[in-house]
A and B are shown apart, each in its own frame.
Chain A
C-alpha cells in the first residue's frame, strides 16, 4: 500500500472462497500495481492456490470484492481473466508436453488467416513470432517443432512467461515457478520475473521460498490457514522477518514459551 502513484491493476478486498463447508480463504486484501512484484508466501495448504484460482478465473470468490482497474469483476473462466490481461503461469499445468513448442506458445490464441470455411493456422507467422519472443527472453531453441516436454523445467516456465507477456498480459500470476527447479534454473526464472516487471507488468509471484521472494519482490503477503498473516512493503520488512513469518515465527515463539515450563529443556540455547 506504499505506492499510491498508480491505481492498482488488481485489487482484492476482504476476499474469500468457500468450497461447500470448507472455508479455504477469507479476509484477504491484495493489491497489484504495474511494474511491481507482489509476492504471496505461505506454507502448503495456506490458501495460495485458491487465491490464484480466483484471480485467474478458474474459481469464483464467494466473499468480499475482486476489482480489476477499479471495477468489480466475476470471472466465469480463464478466458475472461485473459481478456482483462490477467494471465496465469502454472507450476505443473502450463503446457501440453507432447505438442511442439510453437503450438504451445499460441495455444488458445492461435493466429489464423483466410475466410471462414478455409480459415487456417498461420504457421509461418506463429513460428516466427514465437522464435522472436523467446529470443527476446533469452531462450534460443534450435527446433520449435520439438515437443515442449523435451525442454527443461526452467525453459518450460520461461516459454510460458514469454507467452503470457506476448499476449499482452498486464498481470502475470506465477504459481511456484521455482519450486521444482535447481538453484541455477531458479535464477533464470527470477531473471525473467524481473524482466517482466521492468516491462511494466504487475507480477504476482507465489512461492514458499522467502529468499526467492525477497530477491525480486516489492510487496509481501504471507498467508496462513486461509487468511493474511502479514502484508508488508519491501521497506518495512527484512529478509529475516520474512523468513521468520514463513517458518511460523509466532508459533515457534509460543512453542518455546511452553517448552520453558517443562523442566529439562534449556530454552536459552534455542535460537
Chain B
C-alpha cells in the first residue's frame, strides 16, 4: 500500500482530493527512511557537537587521530555487520583479534623466523577459528550467540594461559628488531602523508574495504545470498541458495577482519597484551546496529557501519580533546547507542507511515 502511494508521482497526477503532497517529500522521506542516511545524520550531529565543544579537534592532526580510532573499530564492524545481515553474531571477534596478534608474535619470536611466517600462520589459524564457529553453527543449529560465546571464553582463556606458558609474562616480547618487521609494519601500520598530516594506513583500508563490501553486498550473487540467509534461511535453502557455505564464509570473513586488525595492533605497538580485546566484540556489534543493520538479520548495509564506527571514534576522541573525564566514554556510548536506535525506529515509522 505504501508503494502505491510512493509511486504516485511517477504513474500519474496526484489525487485532487486529500492532502496535497509536495513533489519532493516522498523522495526525501524515502531517503531518510534508509537507515544509512539516519546514521549519517547522527554521525554528522556528533561531529558538529564535538567540533564546537573541542576547538582543538578542528586541526588536521586531531582529525587524523579520530579517523584512526574509527578505522580500528570500523575495520571489524564491517564483517561483523555482514555477518549480522546474514543472521548471526560473533561474540569471539574481540578476543580473536588478540589471538591472531599473539600467534604471529610468539611464533615469530620463539622460532626466530621472519615475521611474515608468523603473519601467515596466524591468518590460517584465524580463518580456522572462523570456519569452526560457522561449522558449529550450521551443523548443530545452535544460536550463534551460544556457539561464539563458547569460542569467546575459550580464546580468552587460551590467550592468557598460552602467553604465560610461552613467555612467562602476560605480554609478548618486542618483535620490532626481527626480520621482515619493517615490511610488515609498512603494510599493516604505516602512515600516509596528506598535506602535512600523517594519516594511518588503516583509514584507507577501512574505506576501501567498506567500498568493496558495499559492492559485494549489492551487486554480487554472494551479497544477495547474505541478505537471503539472514532474511529466511529455510526459504533461501529451498530456492537453491547455499546457506551453509554463505554462513561459514561470513564467519571466516569476521575472523579475517580479526586477523587484519590483530596484525595492525602487533606492528603498531610491537608487543601484545594477552588479556585485551574483551568487550570489543560488543563495540563492533553496536557500531553495526547503529549503522542500521537489523539485529535479527536480513537487512542492513556496509556503509551504515562506517558511520556507526565514525560516531564511536568521534565520541572516544572527542571527549579527550574536549578535556572531559574519559571515564565517561562508555556511558556516553550507551546513551548514543540507545539514542541512535530510537531515532532510527522513529524515523522509519514516520517515513513509512501512510
Contact = CB atoms under 8 A, between A and B. Distances in A.
Interface of A: 56, 58, 77-79, 82, 88, 90, 93-99, 103, 106-110, 112, 119-121, 123, 142-143, 146, 150
B21 interface: no
A150 B2 contact: yes
A46 to B, nearest CB: 21
A117 to B, nearest CB: 10
A143 B8 CA distance: 11
A147 B264 CA distance: 40
B238 A94 contact: yes
Interface in B1-52: 1-4, 6-7, 10-11
A163 B224 CA distance: 16
B284 interface: no
B188 interface: no
B240 A143 contact: no
B236 A143 contact: no
Q: Which 9 A-B pairs have the closest CB atoms?
A: A108-B240, A96-B231, A108-B239, A142-B7, A93-B235, A146-B3, A120-B219, A110-B221, A79-B240
Contacts of B6: 143
B235 A96 contact: yes
Contacts, number: 82
17 contacts: A56-B238, A78-B237, A78-B238, A79-B240, A82-B240, A94-B239, A95-B235, A96-B236, A97-B232, A107-B239, A107-B241, A108-B228, A108-B236, A110-B221, A119-B221, A121-B220, A143-B6
A81 to B, nearest CB: 9
B299 interface: yes
A109 B239 CA distance: 8
B220 A78 contact: no
B227 to A, nearest CB: 6
B235 A94 contact: yes
Given A119-B220, A120-B219, A121-B220, A78 B235 contact: no
Contact of A98 (B234, B240, B299): B299
